[in-house]
Structure 1
Amino acid sequence: MQSNNPVFRNSDEFNGRTSNAYGNQVYGGSGTAHAGYGTTDPSTWGVGTPGSTQAATGPMTIDSVVQKTGISLLVVLVAAFATWVLTPALGDRGSLLTDTAVSHLYGAMMIGGLAAFGLSMANSFKRSISPALVLAFCVAEGVALGAFSKFFDYQYGHGIVIQAVIGTFAAFAGTLAAYKFFDIQVSNKFRIGVIAAMFGLVGLGVLEIVLGLFGTGLGIYGFGFVGFLFSLLGLVVGIFMLVLDFDYVENGIRAGLPERESWRAAFALTVSLVWIYTNLLRILAIMRR
């Protein structure tokens, strides 16, 4: 079965583009037929077979995915913290922002955001995953998030960033627990629906930016009722994106994909968590208003 997720769709390993002597789909490095999607319990996720010859570095395991995801998130946090510290101080809440402070923050958000978007496209459509590109994306995303978070912390009260971070990891833990204990089965229609919703939200966001250049807009990035609904919908879509990520990790491990594919899974999980964090931060800001 071919993935509808752009992150996984171009991976030969994730989509079984080779076949064995019997005409069955096999995955790179494994030489064995795939038994099907959604047929295993996450509690049975393995950590690989010692001494496997599937790849020079062994197969992808839950441990390798956790390690690569941890590294990716650490890079995002370090870049965000560095941006927060190195940009000019904004002063006390309610004080007027200087032009220098505003220009630095918006510059970091624009440069980091555009770089992260370009690198995310490169990682999504690259057939062979590149750890260097994944980490470069994490750096760019961290720069954008650092400036974004600093502005929200100044504008809507101290502690809002910590609350959003805690909420993001709570959403991750809750979604993983639900996926495992309720044995959630990911259908093809569900995949298509989530990906369509994600691209729809991205498209509306781009339209809002374009309309903003002409002094108008839809209000989806505002702090009114429309903005709240848009952020809430984005949060729900982000949680569904995590479900897709868990499904692909589960089936990738089952198929015995090479360890380098752990970076692809880590990239997808990082994108989903960043998506959830930004929407949750906006929801908290709107509620504080």
Structure 2
Amino acid sequence: MTNPVFTRNKVFTQRTPAGYPAMPGYQVGGGTQTLPGQGQYATYQPNPTTQPTQAYPNDPFAAPNAGQQADYGFPPASNAPTATRPVTLDDVLIKTLLTFGVLLVGGAVSWFTTATNPGLGYAMMFGGMIVALILGLVNSFKRRPSPALILGYAFFEGLMLGSISQLYSTLAGGVVPKAIGATIVTTLVMLVLFKTKTIRNSPTLMRVVFIGMGSLFVFYLLNFVISMIFPAANFYNVTLFGFPLWVVVSLVAIVLAALSLVTDFDFIMRAVENRAPAETAWTAAFGLMVTLVWLYLEFLRLFALFASSDN
């Protein structure tokens, strides 16, 4: 298990038989649709109980079965499953760009607010973080994606990122463009590696990412608790063979975030192969945003730490 946005939805995690795209009527986890009284594939047999009728009883030239529509044993049309357009990669791309556009709007608002009024900017940062956390949990557990909630999450996430970025920019100028550029380059590189099958998603890779993410969470939690009890003591002051520990931790976090992109890309491809509904593109955009925001924050902190160590 890696990104919970994808792993909680079976259209991203299950493959069709033999890994092929789904046949019409196939539902992930439910097998091929079977008609009542038939095998896997229905045969066209007229219903023998249906009596032929004439369209015009008084017409001497009417054919014996004129106007008769044979009943081939299919269920009524009202009971047939409603066909929906399957999701495509273009859908995912469009929804992702739209979601990040809303995030940039929220980021711009909090960036300029923090620059002119730091107190209000910090309030927007903490408020955006709390609301984004709540909306993130709601979107993660919803069975069907809600575009309004996902775009709302993007906006409040942008409020948080804008204020944080402005704070880091004040402490170490130039780190924000570096973090943005590094995030874009890393994403493109991982996409190329995934498309060329240089790096493939696998149960082993997913276990490595999951264990690494759990270890990072424990490290951050312990460091927070220790710094609250002993302000002068934290893991970032520790060195390993003369090498700062914070550099190791940041690099490990960046590698894990980059590998998470590979699993995200694979989940999205599975949804397209499984012919998931078009609305699934919103879930894919939301899941990608979670990983990319994590990657950006790790780059931002790494460059800020490097800048502060040089001063």
Is 1:72–2:99 an aligned residue pair?
yes
Which is further off, 108-117 or 77-86? 108-117
Question: 1:44 corresponds to which residue?
Answer: none
The answer as to whether partners of 2:136 and 2:153 remain within 8 angstroms in 1 is yes
Is 1:262–2:281 an aligned residue pair?
yes
Is 1:31–2:38 an aligned residue pair?
no
**CA–CA separation in structure 2 for the residues paired with 1:128 and 1:29:** 22
- Matching of residues 1-289 of structure 1 within 5 Å: 5-15=3-13, 31-32=25-26, 55-56=83-84, 58-89=85-116, 101=118, 103-157=119-173, 159-216=174-231, 218-220=234-236, 225-289=244-308
**CA–CA separation in structure 1 for the residues paired with 2:24 and 2:153:** 29
Q: Deviations over 1:57-111 (max 9, x none)?
A: x11100000011101111111100110112343xxxxxxxxxx72x434333322
Q: Deviations over 1:260-286 (max 9, x none)?
A: 111111111111111111111111112
Please state whether the residue corresponding to 2:176 is helix, strand or coil. Answer: helix
**RMSD (Å), alpha carbons:** 3.3
The alignment's TM-score, normalised by the length of structure 1, stands at 0.76
Letter in 1 for 2:4: P
Structure with bigger gyration radius: 2
The answer as to whether partners of 1:54 and 1:258 remain within 8 angstroms in 2 is no
Change (3 A) 1:199 1:126: farther
Which is further off, 160-169 or 189-198? 189-198
The alignment covers a number of residue pairs equal to 253
Letter in 1 for 2:257: G
The alignment's TM-score, normalised by the length of structure 2, stands at 0.71
The answer as to whether partners of 2:2 and 2:260 remain within 8 angstroms in 1 is no
Change (3 A) 1:245 1:114: same
Change (3 A) 1:272 1:15: closer
**CA–CA separation in structure 1 for the residues paired with 2:134 and 2:275:** 30
Structure 1 consecutive aligned stretches of length 4 or more whose deviation exceeds 6 Å? 23-29
Q: Deviations over 1:7-37 (max 9, x none)?
A: 12322433559x9xxx9999999532769xx
Change (3 A) 1:24 1:177: closer
**CA–CA separation in structure 2 for the residues paired with 1:129 and 1:30:** 23
Change (3 A) 1:284 1:116: same
Residue identity over aligned pairs, in percent, reads 30
- CA deviation after TM superposition for structure 1 residue 116, in Å: 2.0
The answer as to whether partners of 2:20 and 2:273 remain within 8 angstroms in 1 is no
Which is further off, 209-218 or 179-188? 209-218
Which is further off, 114-123 or 207-216? 207-216
**CA–CA separation in structure 1 for the residues paired with 2:307 and 2:114:** 25
Q: Deviations over 1:233-267 (max 9, x none)?
A: 11111101100110011111111111111111111
Q: Deviations over 1:116-136 (max 9, x none)?
A: 222222222222222222112
**CA–CA separation in structure 2 for the residues paired with 1:29 and 1:121:** 33
Please state whether the residue corresponding to 2:235 is helix, strand or coil. Answer: coil
Letter in 2 for 1:180: K
Letter in 1 for 2:199: I
The answer as to whether partners of 1:120 and 1:137 remain within 8 angstroms in 2 is yes
